[in-house]
Amino acid sequence: AEISTGSVIFNANCASCHIGGANILVEHKTLQKSALSKYLENYDTDPIQTIINQVQKGKSAMPAFKNKLSEQEILEVAAYVFQKSETGW
């Protein structure tokens, strides 16, 4: 199967802290649906935009990616995270 752009961006920029949808720094703040829904405000009404916001701005120990990834790349990786969280990492 074709490797999606989102997964390539994720592996290059996110997997160091979020391998397999985990979180090596703040262990409960995973990329599993239950955690995203619990910790990200408005996740349930607008999940992809909520992930985009976090990736653009960063939060606490997570760096901002606004100046590192393009808008299109951030959209691709957010859609990838959403899809993996819905189908199970």
For binding to ligand HEM (CB under 6 A), which residues are involved?
13-14, 16-18, 23, 25-26, 29-31, 35-36, 39-40, 51, 54-55, 59-63, 65, 77, 81
- Going by C-beta distance under 8 Å and a sequence separation of 6 or more, which residues neighbour residue 43? 36, 37, 50
Shortest reach from residue 54's CB to ligand HEM, in Å: 5
Shortest reach from residue 1's CB to ligand HEM, in Å: 21
Q: Nearest-5° angle of CA 22, CA 35, CA 71?
A: 75
Q: Which is nearer to ligand HEM, 2 or 74 (CB)?
A: 74
- Going by C-beta distance under 8 Å and a sequence separation of 6 or more, which residues neighbour residue 58? 64, 65
